[in-house]
């Protein structure tokens, strides 16, 4: 038999068995099962005995009577209390204007971040021309063409 302390709802079952508020967790078969378990399990037996002691102490306790001028004494005591640091510097009325201001501020922050990220840079980007590998034969052909088009030097031999 699995110990009640290892079960998910075991503590609630033992509390109800001890005399706590009935939650409908126990029936006659459940009570018999717990009785049999308590004969062998020392841990559960101690828990049930301790809980029964607590319940009997709570049953024996009587709340003191409230005096007729309790409310008046309470209000005088509250009025005499020194306000805390934040109560002195913040207004007494609730601040209700900040509730709609928070989403507006977040939206403004998101839009400004979007503009900063998406705005193109003002300085033009300098691109370098791409120089590829030149074929030696093509360069030689281009130089020959330039020589053909260039005027021949005049020879001034005398």
Give the mean model confidence (pLDDT) for residues 20-34.
Answer: 76
Give every CB contact of residue 30 below 8 A, 6+ residues apart in sequence: 13
Is 0.75 topped by the overall pTM? no
Phi-psi region of 74 (alpha: psi -120 to 50; beta: other; left: phi over 0): alpha
pLDDT digits (tens, 9 = 90+) for 38-80: 888 888 889 889 988 998 898 898 988 888 999 999 999 988 8
What band does 84 get if pLDDT is binned at 50, 70 and 90?
confident
């Amino acid at each position: 038999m699995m110990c009640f302390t290892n079960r998910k709802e075991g503590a609630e079952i033992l509390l109800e068995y001890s005399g706590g508020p009935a939650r409908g967790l126990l029936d006659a078969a459940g009570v018999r099962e717990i009785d049999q378990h308590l004969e062998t399990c020392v841990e559960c037996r101690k828990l049930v005995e301790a809980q029964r002691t607590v319940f009997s102490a709570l049953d024996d306790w009587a709340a003191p009577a409230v005096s007729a001028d309790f409310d008046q004494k309470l209000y005088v005591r509250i009025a005499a209390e020194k306000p805390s640091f934040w109560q002195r510097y913040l207004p007494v009325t609730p601040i209700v204007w900040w509730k709609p201001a928070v989403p507006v501020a977040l939206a403004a922050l998101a839009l400004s971040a979007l503009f900063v990220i998406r705005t193109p840079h003002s300085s033009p980007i300098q691109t370098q021309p791409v120089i590829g590998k030149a074929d030696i034969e093509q360069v030689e052909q281009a130089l020959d063409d330039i020589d053909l088009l260039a005027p021949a030097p005049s020879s001034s031999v005398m």
